[in-house]
Structure 1
Amino acid sequence: MNCTSAKRLAATVLALSCLYLMNLNEAQAKIKLPAIIGDHMVLQQGQQNPLWGWDEPGTKVTVTVDGQSHTATADDKGKWRVNLEPLKVGGPYEITIKGSDSVTLKDVLAGEVWICSGQSNMAWTVANANDGDLEIMTANYPKIRLISVPQVGTQEAQDDFNGKWEACSPATVPNFSAVGYFFGRQLYQTLNVPIGLIDNAWGGSSAEAWVNRKRLEDEPAFKAMLEKWKKTEETYNHDQAVAAYNKRLDQWKAAAKNAKAAGKNPPNRPRAPRNPLTGNHRPANIYNGVLHPTIGYGIKGVIWYQGESNAGRAYQYRKLFPFMIQNWRDEWKQGDFPFYWVQLADFRAEKPEPADSDWAELREAQTMTMSKLPNTGEAVILNLGEASDIHPKNKQDVAKRLARWALAKDYGVDIVHQSPQYKSMEIKGNKAILTFDHVGGGLDTFDVTTPIGFTIAGEDKTFVKANAKIVGKDKIEVWSDAVAKPVSVRYAWADNPVCNVQNKEGLPLTPFRTDDWKGVTAGVE
Structure 2
Amino acid sequence: MIGETINAPYAEKFTVSNVFSSDMVVQRGEHIRVWGFADASENGHKVSGEFMGMFAEARIENGAWTLTFGARLNACAEQGNSMRIYTDRTAFVFENVLVGDVFMVIGQSNVAYSMAAHRAAVQEAERGGVGYDVPSTPIRLHYNSLMQETGITRGTEEVCAELRNRETWKRADAAAVQDFSALGYLFAAEYARATGVPVGVIEIDGNGQPIGAFLPNSVAEATGSDKWSEQKGYYVTSGCNGDAARYMYNHYMYPFEKYAMAGLVWYQGESDCAPGLAEVFPDKLAALMTYMRTTHNLVSPDFPVYLIEFPPIFRQSAMSVIPAGQTWAFMDLGLVRGTLGSVTHRIPACHVVSSADLWTDRTYWNSLHPNCKFEQARRTAGIAAAVAGVGSPEAAAGPILASAERSADGRQVVLTYTNVGSGLTTAGGSADILGFAGIRRNRNGTLRVLTPRSVTLTAPDRITLTFGVSVDGVGYHVLAEEVFGESINLTSPSGVPACADIWLFD
Confirm or deny a common fold (TM above 0.5).
yes
* Contact preservation (8 Å) 2:342, 2:502: no
Select which of 268, 292, 296 maps to 2:258. 296
C-alpha distance 426-36 of structure 1, shift in aligned 2 (>3 A): closer
Per-residue deviation at 1:511?
3.3
In structure 2, what is the Cα distance between the partners aligned to 1:50 and 1:425? 45
Provide the C-alpha distance between the structure 2 equivalents of 1:398 and 1:127, rounded to a whole number of angstroms.
Answer: 17
Structure 1 residue 115: Cα displacement? 0.7
Cα deviation, 1:468-512, whole Å, max 9, x if unaligned, reads 676764456778xxx8x5766754331212323322222212335
Asked if residue 405 in structure 1 is aligned to residue 369 in structure 2, the reply is no
Q: Against the structure 1 CA distance between its residues 471 and 66, is the aligned structure 2 distance closer, same or farther, given a 3 Å change threshold?
A: closer
- Residue correspondence of structure 1 range 413-432 to structure 2 within 5 A: 413-416=391-394, 417-422=396-401, 423-424=403-404
Residue 82 of structure 1: aligned partner = 67
Structure 2 counterpart of 1:206? 210
By how many angstroms is 1:29 displaced?
Answer: 6.7
Instruction: Report how far residue 145 of structure 1 moved.
Output: 0.8
- Cα distance in 2 between the residues matched to 1:302 and 1:62: 30
In the other structure, the counterpart of 2:8 is none
> 3-state SS of the aligned residue for 1:149?
strand
1:205 Cα deviation from its structure 2 partner: 1.6
Distance 1:440 1:62, change over 3 A: same
SS of corresponding position for 2:93: strand
What runs of 5+ residues in structure 1 fail to find an aligned partner? 1-27, 237-274, 352-356, 518-525
Q: Partner amino acid for 2:354?
A: V
Indicate the RMSD between aligned Cα atoms, in angstroms: 3.8
1:318 to 2:295 alignment? no
The superposition leaves residues 359-405 of structure 1 with CA deviations (integer Å, 9 ceiling, x where unpaired) of 33322322222122111111121222455420111112212332233
Structure 2: how far apart are the matches of 1:106 and 1:89? 17
The question of 1:150 aligning with 2:142 is answered no
Deviates more, 1:415-424 or 1:83-92: 415-424
Is 1:371 paired with 2:345? yes
- Equivalent pair of 1:41/1:107 in contact (CA under 8 Å): yes
CA contact (8 A) 2:145 2:252 kept: yes
1:270-349 map, 5 Å = 281-312=243-274, 313-332=277-296, 334=298, 335-349=301-315
Residue type at the aligned position of 1:445: T
**Take 1:98 and 1:38, find their aligned partners in 2: how far apart are those partners?**
15
Equivalent residue, structure 1, for 2:122: 131
Q: Which protein is richer in helix relative to its size? A: 1
Cα distance change on mapping 1:105 and 1:414 into 2, 3 Å: same
8 Å CA contact 1:39, 1:108 repeated in 2: yes
Q: Deviations over 1:338-375 (max 9, x none)?
A: 21211222213299xxxxx9633322322222122111
Does the 8 A contact of 1:114 with 1:301 survive in 2?
yes
**Which whole-Å CA distance do the structure 1 matches of 2:30 and 2:435 have between them?**
47
> What letter is aligned with 1:324?
L
The equivalences for 1:121-520 within 5 A come to 121-129=110-118, 131=122, 134=125, 135=128, 136-138=130-132, 139=134, 141=136, 143-151=138-146, 152=149, 153=154, 155=156, 156-161=158-163, 162-217=166-221, 219=222, 221-222=223-224, 225-227=225-227, 229-231=228-230, 233-234=232-233, 281-312=243-274, 313-332=277-296, 334=298, 335-349=301-315, 359-385=333-359, 388=365, 389-411=367-389, 413-416=391-394, 417-422=396-401, 423-424=403-404, 436-446=417-427, 449=430, 451=432, 453-454=434-435, 463-464=450-451, 473-474=460-461, 485=468, 491-497=476-482, 498-512=487-501
Cα pair 1:469 1:478 within 8 Å, conserved:
yes
Aligned partner of residue 326 in structure 1, secondary structure: helix
After superposition, the Cα gap between the structure-2 partners of 1:39 and 1:234, relative to the gap in structure 1 and judged at 3 Å, is: closer
Change in CA separation of 1:421 and 1:350 when aligned onto 2, cut-off 3 Å: farther
Distance 1:464 1:49, change over 3 A: closer
> Could you tell me the percent identity over the aligned residues?
21
Contact kept in structure 1, 2:57 and 2:68, CA below 8 Å: no
Q: Cα deviations across residues 391-423 of structure 1 (Å, max 9, x unaligned)?
A: 111112212332233222333543314432455
For 1:146, what is the secondary structure of its paired residue?
A: strand
- Contact 1:502 1:508 survives alignment (8 Å): yes
Aligned partner of 1:33 in structure 2 is: 16
**In structure 2, C-alpha distance between the alignment counterparts of 1:290 and 1:470, rounded to whole Å:** 47
**Cα deviation digits, residues 181-205 of structure 1 (max 9, x gap):** 2222222112212111111122212
Give per-residue Cα distances to partners, 1:247-281, cap 9 Å, x unaligned: xxxxxxxxxxxxxxxxxxxxxxxxxxxx99xx975
